Amino acid sequence: MASKIYNFRKGEILLVDKPLEWTSFDVVNKLRYPLKKKYSIKRLKVGHAGTLDPLATGLLVICTGRKTKEITSFINDVKVYSGIIQLGATTPSYDLETAINDTFETAHITQELIDEVKLQFLGEIDQVPPIFSAKKVNGKRAYNAARKGEEFELKSNKITIFELELTLKDNHEVHFFVKSSKGTYIRSLAHDIGKALNSGGHLTKLRREASGAFDIQNAQSIEYWQKEINECEVGDLEL
C-alpha cells in the first residue's frame, strides 16, 4: 500500500517523465482513466501544464481536480531543455517528423563560430513558429494545413532566451542546453541556429529538464503513476 494519501479530486500535481512518441494528451488520458475508476465517477478534470511534442521526452506537469485551475500559471513558467541539433540538413518540420528536404556544407563549422552566433539568440528575440505546429491558420491547425501542402505564413512571437549553451560534437551535432520563456519553440530555435551558421539544422533530440519549480529528477514514469493511483489511499471523497 502506498505510504501517501492522495486527494485527486481536490487536486494533485503529478510529475511525469513523458516517453518518446507519446503525445501530451496520451499521458493525460492514460492517467484520467484509472483516476475515474478509483473514484467510480464518469468525469474528473485532468490536464497538462505545457505541451511536449511526441518526439520529445521529459517533464510533463499533470494537474488533477482543482489543481487544474493553476495550469495557466504553470504554463507561464520558465522552461529548461536539453537536446541535439544536427547541422548540415533541414526538414520542413524542423525535426525528425519529416524527411530531409535540403543539405548544406558544414566544413566551415567550428566551436568559435557557434559561440559567436549564439550571442544573437540570447535575450528577447522574434521567433516564427514551425509550420508543423498547433498554431491556428484561418481557423485550423497549422500542421494540418502543412501536411496538405498548403502555403501560408505564421507571425513571429516575442520570446526570451535566458541561457543557451551550444557544444559542437562529432558528425556536426550540436548538444544544447536552453532556458527560455513560455511560447518558445525549440524546433524553431534549432532551425534558426542552423540558418545563422549557414549550415542548416534540425532538431534530433529534445528533453524537458525543468518547468518553473518542477524538475525532471522528481518525475516518475506513467506506469509508476498508474500503479500509485491503483494502490494508494485516497483522502476525503467530498469536495
Residue for grid cell 520529445 = 56
* Three-state secondary-structure class, residue 160: strand
Domain count across the chain: 2
What is the C-alpha to C-alpha distance for residues 236 and 129, in angstroms, rounded to an integer?
44
pLDDT in tens, 72-92: 999 999 999 999 999 999 999
For the question of whether the overall pTM of this predicted structure is more than 0.85, the answer is: yes
One domain for residues 193 and 141: yes
What is the C-alpha to C-alpha distance for residues 112 and 167, in angstroms, rounded to an integer?
10
Does residue 239 fall inside a structural domain? no
Domain holding 226, by residue range, is: 5-76+213-234
For residues 204-213, give the mean pLDDT.
98
One domain for residues 122 and 156: yes
Catalytic residue among 53, 95, 192, 215: 53
Model pLDDT, residue 133? 66
Pick from 198, 130, 114: which is nearest to 164 by CA?
Answer: 114
pLDDT in tens, 107-156: 999 999 999 999 999 999 999 888 776 677 666 676 676 676 777 677 88
One domain for residues 103 and 160: yes
Residue 239's pLDDT band, with cuts at 50, 70 and 90, is very low
53 is catalytic: yes
pLDDT in tens, 57-74: 999 999 999 999 999 999
Which residues fall within 8 angstroms of residue 220, CB to CB, at 6 or more apart?
14, 15, 16, 17, 228
Does residue 114 fall inside a structural domain? yes
pLDDT in tens, 163-192: 999 999 999 999 999 999 999 999 999 999
